Structure 1
């Protein structure tokens, strides 16, 4: 026992050789895995990224200690940081610039006629040559055309192909200047603003959209709970516009506030057309009453400020009226009837139907065919299902002439704001044309 104690309890040979001093032990390599109790968190956390809908990164990618695959690392490395502050709204939508919207690309004779309307006003023999043009660009039916009053060489068209086309009609170069792709469904109507290069359009995506034509940018969207079929600017205030839709609701919007300022609600069918009277105190609307069999509501005259109907027994025949237009100076308005005629009404109470005069000879045949007055009110023009443009004398109701423009139905017609014998039209087969009457 004593021998064992001396052997194991004494100093080692190394201690004896070094004078009893303990040698420092060699430094061993650290273990391959760190113990969890010695794990220290990183003081600087991983950078945070805002959600980007174009990537499929999960929120767990920023958790410390989580395994991140090479694919995730590459995606995180290429993801752009979003700076703090307000985010960019989902719109404005932009549209490609295809051509020039300036009048500098027009032929000299047409440019002179546009700048001096007395050269062609009322004198057909002095009309410049080359005014008749066929404009190809829409792939489906075209519902509406409208001339710009401030830039009389520009024409807008709205189609079932979800586009609004802006045409520099007599340009020597590209005639299709803009294709506005802001709508997500078919476009029903389009109107030029009286203020600058803006158009207002509406359609089956339940919106009205204000678009800057010069920049090709959508500036405002006005959403509704109904398909919007018609829009009209207020005649005295370009900051207000009227919209009518599939649920029978009429609304006046303030563009500056982006809100409805007047609403006209009645148990109506879809609004087919609506028009401000010349004094801007009333609205005349037509609606589809075929399902209710109550024809007395097909035309309603509204008081704008009081938001009440002044008369709903204007028209009692069992036909729908796809178009309404007010005379520019006389107290009367006209309505296109599916009975293949244009009816005449008074804009004064009790807003009676003229039972002795009408414009007839063209055919409607169920198409949404529109009619219009000339600027001086001397002529009435209308499209027709037989592909002709019909021109009537406003006072005598006699047919002056008819012009063959399409093989299919001619849907909309509008006379030029400067040259009164020039008319733009569109067809059910997707064509747009400009002709001389």
Structure 2
């Protein structure tokens, strides 16, 4: 019997079925219903008999394909049109009129013209295009920059830019056509060709970039200010900072060119720097070499604001030698733009509320009105000369962060809110 057993145990691989002696299962019968297909069981039980046919079938089974990576969302989504082709004729005729704002009638924004919905979080900044005045750009905490064709009869959201991978703090149109500059929490400033949907430059810093401003006479230059108190002058043609302005400041909240771009104002967070005289500083930008080289140097001129309030916004007057600063003391202060940069202690714009929000303000085209957002969601319109409130517009349910007068039509004003909404009044 032992010889017979040994003979059967060495059966040839060419047998199609294993010997009956090996088909006897020693497991309890209650386990029989768990039996797997032969090919799977062959891999689970060492020494299991595998016929030649089974081995051939197993060798022919193709390996599963590697998992495919998920497609990345496009950074540029065109959902409407950037053209002014479908804008109503009466609006289009106003947009094409090149008369200066201060030569227009003194009109007042009254009725709601458009509600722009698309951001899912707070909107930090808005800016009208100076060259294509039917377009409005917005920067949101949802990482998006949206371009709005405000008076379009069809889709008002023209396109969405998702080039940033963190919240976007500021956005500015260039005077050179469809170019848009944006910055944010991803420590970058990005110049985008909106017409082509591509990035022209990505300028990286070692700080959160909170604010930018193009030079008034040269759109190749812009200032940036960030969370570490550094201010840089950039040249978009080279993608490099041509000068740094550092003075151990708190986070930079705003910058503004004055004196035809020969000087600029910076506002910094005094709560973090704990030095109130650093709240507002005027810097002198002196040209050292021919303009084509874009090399400038900086000389500190003066500290002009000694109150211990943070100023989230500074704006120059379009015609007068003056600039204003939004204060967390719930008022807008006014200063001269000529040395010694005096604060007007007898005139301030106060009725709105700031309440710690980064509330911005702006002048009208003719310089006769000053508009400010407010933490109560309203837009406050002040008479520039008397500092009195001439109109209050209840706009948003949450804080109104930014207001922007239209660059051509004097009675049009846009606003954005902490609730993610954007409104246009005319």
TM range (shorter): 0.7 to 0.9
Report the alpha carbon displacement of residue 352 of structure 1 after superposing the two structures with TM: 1.2
For the Cα contact (< 8 Å) 1:113–1:119, is it kept in 2? no
Q: How does 1:192-231 map to 2 (within 5 A)?
A: 192-231=173-212
Q: 2:415 aligns with which of 416, 425, 428?
A: 425
User: Residue 347 of structure 1 corresponds to which residue in structure 2?
Assistant: 337
Report the alpha carbon displacement of residue 98 of structure 1 after superposing the two structures with TM: 0.6
User: Residue 265 of structure 1 corresponds to which residue in structure 2?
Assistant: 246
Quick one: distance in 2 between partners of 1:415 and 1:151? 14
Shift of the 292–115 alpha-carbon distance from structure 1 to 2, 3 Å rule, reads closer
Mean alpha-carbon deviation: is it higher for 172-181 or for 390-399? 390-399
Report the alpha carbon displacement of residue 117 of structure 1 after superposing the two structures with TM: 6.0
Shift of the 123–324 alpha-carbon distance from structure 1 to 2, 3 Å rule, reads closer
Task: Determine whether 1:406 maps to 2:396.
Answer: yes
DSSP-derived class of the 1:290 partner: helix
Quick one: distance in 2 between partners of 1:292 and 1:118? 45
Shift of the 102–162 alpha-carbon distance from structure 1 to 2, 3 Å rule, reads same
For the Cα contact (< 8 Å) 1:202–1:208, is it kept in 2? yes
Quick one: distance in 1 between partners of 2:191 and 2:272? 33
DSSP-derived class of the 1:111 partner: helix
User: Residue 56 of structure 1 corresponds to which residue in structure 2?
Assistant: none
User: Residue 307 of structure 1 corresponds to which residue in structure 2?
Assistant: 298
For the Cα contact (< 8 Å) 2:107–2:410, is it kept in 1? no
User: Highest CA radius of gyration, 1 or 2?
Assistant: 1
Task: Determine whether 1:149 maps to 2:130.
Answer: yes
DSSP-derived class of the 1:103 partner: coil
Shift of the 337–123 alpha-carbon distance from structure 1 to 2, 3 Å rule, reads closer
Quick one: distance in 2 between partners of 1:124 and 1:282? 32
Q: How does 1:32-431 map to 2 (within 5 A)?
A: 71=63, 94-116=75-97, 121-122=104-105, 124=107, 132-305=113-286, 306-312=297-303, 314-431=304-421
Query: What is the RMSD computed on CA atoms of the aligned residues?
Result: 2.5
Quick one: distance in 2 between partners of 1:337 and 1:133? 30
User: Residue 40 of structure 1 corresponds to which residue in structure 2?
Assistant: none
Mean alpha-carbon deviation: is it higher for 341-350 or for 288-297? 288-297
For the Cα contact (< 8 Å) 2:124–2:169, is it kept in 1? yes
Quick one: distance in 1 between partners of 2:91 and 2:251? 41
Report the alpha carbon displacement of residue 71 of structure 1 after superposing the two structures with TM: 4.4
Quick one: distance in 2 between partners of 1:223 and 1:426? 27
Which digits, 9 at most, give the CA deviation of each residue in 1:340-360, with x for residues without a partner? Answer: 100001111111111111111
Quick one: distance in 2 between partners of 1:96 and 1:334? 38
DSSP-derived class of the 2:85 partner: helix
Mean alpha-carbon deviation: is it higher for 315-324 or for 111-120? 111-120
Shift of the 124–300 alpha-carbon distance from structure 1 to 2, 3 Å rule, reads closer
Shift of the 159–427 alpha-carbon distance from structure 1 to 2, 3 Å rule, reads same
Stretches of structure 1 that go unaligned for 5 or more consecutive residues are 1-68, 79-92
Report the alpha carbon displacement of residue 292 of structure 1 after superposing the two structures with TM: 3.4
Quick one: distance in 1 between partners of 2:112 and 2:98? 14
Shift of the 238–428 alpha-carbon distance from structure 1 to 2, 3 Å rule, reads same
Shift of the 123–392 alpha-carbon distance from structure 1 to 2, 3 Å rule, reads closer
For the Cα contact (< 8 Å) 1:164–1:187, is it kept in 2? yes
Stretches of structure 2 that go unaligned for 5 or more consecutive residues are 1-60, 69-73, 287-296
For the Cα contact (< 8 Å) 1:344–1:357, is it kept in 2? yes
Report the alpha carbon displacement of residue 387 of structure 1 after superposing the two structures with TM: 1.0
Quick one: distance in 2 between partners of 1:276 and 1:130? 33
